Every structure is written in C-alpha cells, then in structure tokens.
A and B are shown apart, each in its own frame.
Chain A
Amino acid sequence: MTEETSPEAHDGAQVPTVSTSTPRKTAKTLAEKVWRDHVVKQGEGDGDAAQPDLLYIDLHLIHEVTSPQAFEGLRLAGRPLRRPDLTIATEDHNTPTLAIDKPIADLTSRTQIQTLRNNCAEFGVRLHSLGDAEQGIVHVVGPQLGLTQPGMTVVCGDSHTSTHGAVGALAFGIGTSEVEHVMATQTLPLKPFKTMAINVEGTLRPGVTSKDIILAVIAKIGTGGGQGYVLEYRGSAIRALSMDARMTVCNMSIEAGARAGMIGPDEITFEYLKGRAHAPEGEDWDAAVGYWKSLNTEADAEFDAEVFLDANTLEPFVTWGTNPGQGVSLSDNVPNPEDFGDDNAKAAAERALAYMDLKAGMPMKDIRVDTVFLGSCTNSRIEDLRAAADIVRGREKDPNIRMLVVPGSARVRLEAEAEGLDKVFLDFGAEWRFAGCSMCLGMNPDQLEPGERCASTSNRNFEGRQGKGGRTHLVSPVVAAATAIRGTLSSPSDLSPVVEPVETQSTSTVA
C-alpha cells in the first residue's frame, strides 16, 4: 500500500478507469484506513528494504488444529497469553457431525480437542465446545456473535479468515508461528499489502449467486492473481448482496491468492450487526457507526490494480479441475488442455482431467456425481440453507445421491430447525448433521471414498481435499440442490416445476 505503482490490468481485465489527477496517498482505500488505525510502530525504510509495520490485532480466533503448537510455544518460553479478552476459541475442523454427545472415536482427534480444552482452561480463553449453542465453524461463529465488526483487524490460524472481511474488517489467515506471536504480543509484524479493486457491476440473474461471482473472479485472475493484495469487492452487484452472501465472496479471496478480501460497510452491514451479542449499544452504537462509515474507500482513492466483472452475463459457475481457478460456466464443456497457452497450464489441465476422470469437450451438465455436500465456512449460513431448501422442497432426490447438509454453527442449526428446514432436507432424503467443517477438508469422519465424485459448496477442489482420491466440483448451494435432484451437475433452471399438492394443484404438469 505504500508503493507508487500504477494500476495494472490483470489477465482479461479491462483497462482500469481510475483518476490519476489526484496525487497518491491523499485519498485512502478501506484497507489502508484500517491498516493506518492499527499501526503500533511504523517500520523504517522504504520498498524492499522496509521493515514491517507492527500491527495491532483486535480479535484472535482459535481452533483445535493450528493452536496446540502455539500454546506449547508459550509454555516453553514462559510467556503469558497477552489478551485473553480479545481471543475466542471453537472446535470445528476435527469434530464429528454425528453422535456429538459420545466421545470422539478417533484417538488422535480426541487428543487434539482435549488439548484445546486444556489450553483454553490454562490460559483463560473463552471456548465454545462441541455441544455448546455457540459452537461451530470459527468463521461462522465470529460474525454471528457480532465479534467481527467493521474496521477491526481479525486473524486466525486458518486461511478462510478472509471471510470476516465481509463486514469491513481486515481479516486474514496466519500460520502457527504467527498464532503464537499474536498470543504473546497481540500484534503481528507485517509488510503493507497492495490493494486491488474487484468491481462487479450489474444484476445477477435468478439462480446466480455470490458463489458464482467469486468462482468467476478466481477463474479470471487465477489462483495466484491476488498474491500480495488485499481485495476490495465493489460495485452494484456487491452492494446488493446480503451479509451471508458477502461472506461467501470474501471467504474465497484466499483461493485467488489474496490473504484478505473486504467489502465497505454500509446499511446492510449495520443492519446485520445491530442487536448481536457483542455489537455496541446505545450511544456506543451511534459512535461506532460514525467511525465505520468514515472507513469507506474515498471516491478518488487509487487501487494498485483493478478487475472488472459483469454480473449481468454471469451464469452458475462450477469447477472442472483440481484448483479453484479451473472453473467454467455450468453450461460450458470440460475444456481441452490443448487450448491452454503455456506448457505448464496445459500440463496442469491434463493432470487435473486425469485425476478428475473427465474427458475434454464433455458437457459439464453430463457429469454424474455421487455425493452432494452443503456446508463449510463458504456456504453453511442460514441463507445458504434456505436457498437450497427452497429448491429441494417438494422435489425428490436422485436415489443414487448421498446428500449431507451441515449447518455452519449450532446456532444456524437451531435457527434452521425453528424454520422447519431440517424437515425439508430430511423429507428430501438428505442427512441433517451437527455443525462443523465436515466434508470440506477430510480430517474428520465425513470424507469421500477414493473415486467418489462430489458437488460441494465448499472452497477447495484440491486432489484428496475431501478424502483421499475424492473428486470435487465446487458449486453454489442452489446448484448443489439442483444436482441432488437430477444426479448430474445442474442449475435450478434445469428443473421441472414442482408438483403442487393435490388440493392446490391447478395447471402444473407432473414431472
């Protein structure tokens, strides 16, 4: 953010249209303002030789997988955890989503969970354990409690921490050494990021969602396109999104290589936060909103790079390969490796098709799947469940499909049950599970078998990500639901109308 580089057009991006008449640094972007407000100590020097800034961290989220070695590091060095009151832990990655009242069967998993419990007790960290009403995926729990707010710095030993950027926070994933660093000092030494605007203008067509926006962004700029940048999602299509949908977009910033993605706080943000457990109240609320509004990117601020995406023409998007950048519109065909420009991309495509057992040129919609997974920190919030339930309600599941519905948090599960969504999914023939990361990452009992093919609302289609030998197609919740009905990758527009119950039936035809 300190570099005086001119904006660059990225792969396929239009020529940037930013004003260059104002000198740089007078007007700031959202990310730059949040950064500015957290500098404990400015690094000396310029450019490559610059020391990092020391940045204050407002909220540290913890889970069982990336924290045990950090706690151990504190213990060995005899250091206290500096701010337990800015730290919160939950159990999510490793936890089963069935029989959660029983001891965890896998001994290593059980040990890791128990280690988190012991560490939190020893260091005074608030922990939401399995069975607790606030337990769930760390990136669902934080916003839900109102703990992630605009203008905050938020970190977690998990790359999908970018999710929290949806409320206008600067939120990013860190490694275990950094987890220990934040525990000990509540700060991180960091070099400023560059800024990239992702402008999405227009109106999404029915059946097209925020998941399709972010999958299209990743396909456009590539898995490395965002490296070194904080992304700011802007434009009318982003403004129109709900908070749940915005979280889906920011969540997958890391899949474009960016550690963080943000959306400027607006009335939708404030409406979402108001009344949440840890949101400010009364006069504090007014003061907070005033500050939050002041953080938005100024009209004449410059980004280091800009990308443009047309929401009007966007279709449901799906991945065909083994990284999230290998995606196409659902109505397209599996691409031909020969059509890729450079040898490395061609080799990567060939390898991906072999792993995915797909033939170049076959329509994506002809791909038959075995399993549908609705869940993960990308798409397990109440709106995701509602959207999928609206598709499956009154319809029949393909008998060969196994469908898992895994709410992102115990709170989301309760909310869904209060609305009767559990019944909708169970009547449809899906499994209704307890909250957790589940089948997103293959480290708890929910895993694909070798060769099994899954339409998944999660975030990564890496080889073996959902279980050794498993094959993943990343999709939106409504595409997941439509796929569970037809058995092949499908969009809601491929479905026949729902058969109305006899008493209200008029002209609907039987499918």
Chain B
Amino acid sequence: MEKFSTHTGIGVPLRQSNVDTDQIIPAVYLKRITRTGFEDALFSSWRKDPEFILNREPFVSGSVLVAGADFGTGSSREHAVWALKDYGFKAVLSSRFADIFRGNSGKQGLVAAEVAQDDIELIWKVLENAPGTEVTVDLVAKMVTAGSVVAPFQIDDYTRWRLLEGLDDIGLTLRDEPAITAFEAKRPPIKPTTLPAKF
C-alpha cells in the first residue's frame, strides 16, 4: 500500500445522504475477477444523468469526495473502494461512514475522513460557490482545508498510522504468527471443522 500523508485535489460536493454501495458500484460490475479497472463502474447509474456532479467540469477531475451522512452503507463489496480509487479519488469526507466501508477504505489507502456535518455544509458551499476549489486532506494534522474553511476530521489512530506508513495488514499480523499457533493449540476440539465434510 502506498503511503499517504497529505493530498490536495479538486473537491466534489455530493449533497446526498445514505449513498449506499449499490449506488457507488452496481452489482453487475461485481462479476469481474480483477482488483482494478472499475473506474467506469463508479456511480454508473447516476453518471447516465448529464447533470450528475461527476459529469460536470471541473468536478470530472475531482479527487476528494465530500458526501452526506452514512456514506457507504449496505453491501460489504470492497469494489466500492476500488471504483472510487480507480476513478482517482484519494479521500472521502462524510459525517458518518458505514463500518464495513470505512474498514475497506483503510485497507486500500483511501482516506475516509469523518468531518462534522456543520463543516461538511460549509465545505459544500465553498465547492458550489467556487467550483474547482481544491481540498487539502492532511492526515498528519487530521485537518481538511477548502478555501477559507479549515476543519478537523476523525480517523482512528491505528488506521491513520497504517496509512501514513503504507503498511500491509497481513504482513503485520504474520509477525504474531506464534501467538496464532499458540491460540490454535488451545482451541476446544469440539469446535466444528468443515473438513472432513459431513452431510
């Protein structure tokens, strides 16, 4: 995973709450077996509307999505994060993220920055009044800046550390492999196993 410390790019105001992962990427795109190449799938239904924000200049080249509350609800599909990343987004700002989406973002180096709804409203105004305004997401200081608006954001410290260091989760866990083996030795033998198969 690439290290992330700070990013500055065009902010995209998405004035909508409950943006579920079926909207971020509809299920028909989930048949692919690759981890990349999902940029065309991002918001594919909404992008058929010429007025949709990502069809309008200068938002087409946006890289910081500023969304309403409860972003990423619904399905666990990590494809939602892949699609946002493939399109070019580096960070999503919302006052509340669905748990699984937030977890998936952290694994893939997409910053899910929790910003108070009042600040989201202020940033929306800035981006709508001056389209193309760049938003800076500073993961070191945990601050976002959009024009004159400067606001703090929340992200859990462990995820932040991993993003700053660009660390691979599996590699980290495997450092504790002896602890896993020790735990397995103590697991009760009456716990079920899938093999040998019983019917």
Contacts and interface: CB of A to CB of B under 8 A. Distances in A.
Interface of A: 40-41, 43, 48-52, 54, 56, 58-59, 65-66, 68-69, 72, 77, 79, 84-88, 93-94, 106, 108-109, 111-112, 115, 126, 133-134, 145-147, 149, 152, 157-159, 173-178, 180-181, 184-187, 189, 191, 223-224, 227-228, 254-255, 257-259, 277-280, 284, 287-288, 291, 323, 344-345, 347-348, 351, 441-443, 460, 462-465, 468
With a 10 A CB-CB cut-off, give which of B81, B96, B180 has the most chain A CB atoms. Answer: B180
B13 to A, nearest CB: 13
Interface stretch (B56-64, B127-135, B144-152, B170-178): B170-178
B77 interface: yes
B28 to A, nearest CB: 6
Contacts of A465: 22, 27
Nearest to A133: B199
Interface in B118-140: none
With a 10 A CB-CB cut-off, give which of A93, A126, A176, A442 has the most chain B CB atoms. Answer: A176
Contacts of B97: 227
Interface stretch (B3-11, B84-92, B102-110): B102-110
B66 to A, nearest CB: 14
A185 B194 contact: no
B199 A134 contact: yes
Interface in B4-43: 15-18, 20, 22-23, 26-28, 30-35
Given A59-B192, A441-B27, A462-B20, A178 B107 contact: yes
B76 A463 contact: no
Contacts of A111: 31, 33
A175 B99 CA distance: 11
- Chain B: interface residue count, which band? 35 or more
A259 B34 CA distance: 26
21 contacts: A48-B156, A52-B158, A72-B33, A85-B194, A112-B31, A147-B194, A158-B75, A159-B75, A174-B100, A175-B77, A177-B78, A177-B107, A184-B173, A187-B180, A189-B169, A257-B70, A277-B199, A460-B22, A463-B45, A464-B22, A464-B45
A69 B194 contact: no
Contact of A146 (B98, B103, B192, B197): B192
A152 B191 contact: yes
A348 B18 contact: yes
B69 interface: yes
A40 B26 contact: no
Contact of B198 (A173, A180, A228, A278): A278
A94 B16 contact: no
A175 B100 contact: yes
B28 A173 contact: no
A323 B20 contact: yes
Contacts of A112: 31-33
Contacts of B100: 159, 173-175, 254, 259
Nearest to A176: B78
A443 B70 contact: no
A92 to B, nearest CB: 13
A191 B78 CA distance: 19
A154 to B, nearest CB: 11
Contacts of B157: 48-50
Contact of A69 (B34, B98, B174): B34
B179 A462 contact: no
B194 A88 contact: yes
Interface in B162-189: 169-170, 172-174, 176-177, 179-180, 183-184, 187-188
Contact of B73 (A43, A79, A223, A442): A223
Given A52-B158, A465-B22, A94 B31 contact: yes
A63 to B, nearest CB: 11
Contacts of A443: 27-28, 30-31
Nearest to A151: B191
B78 to A, nearest CB: 4
Nearest to B36: A69
B141 interface: no
A348 B16 contact: yes
A284 B103 CA distance: 37
Nearest to B104: A175
With a 10 A CB-CB cut-off, give which of A145, A152, A159, A323 has the most chain B CB atoms. Answer: A159
Given A175-B104, A279-B192, A441-B27, 11 more contacts: A79-B170, A149-B191, A174-B76, A185-B170, A185-B173, A254-B74, A254-B100, A280-B192, A347-B17, A351-B16, A443-B27
Closest A-B pairs by Cβ, 6 of them: A177-B107, A175-B104, A443-B27, A175-B78, A68-B33, A173-B76
Contacts of A189: 158, 169, 172-173
A181 B69 contact: no
A277 B192 CA distance: 10
With a 10 A CB-CB cut-off, give which of B17, B23, B27, B69 has the most chain A CB atoms. Answer: B27
Nearest to A71: B33
Contact of A442 (B27, B33, B74, B188): B27
A24 B184 CA distance: 30
A229 to B, nearest CB: 9
Contacts of A176: 35, 78-79, 104
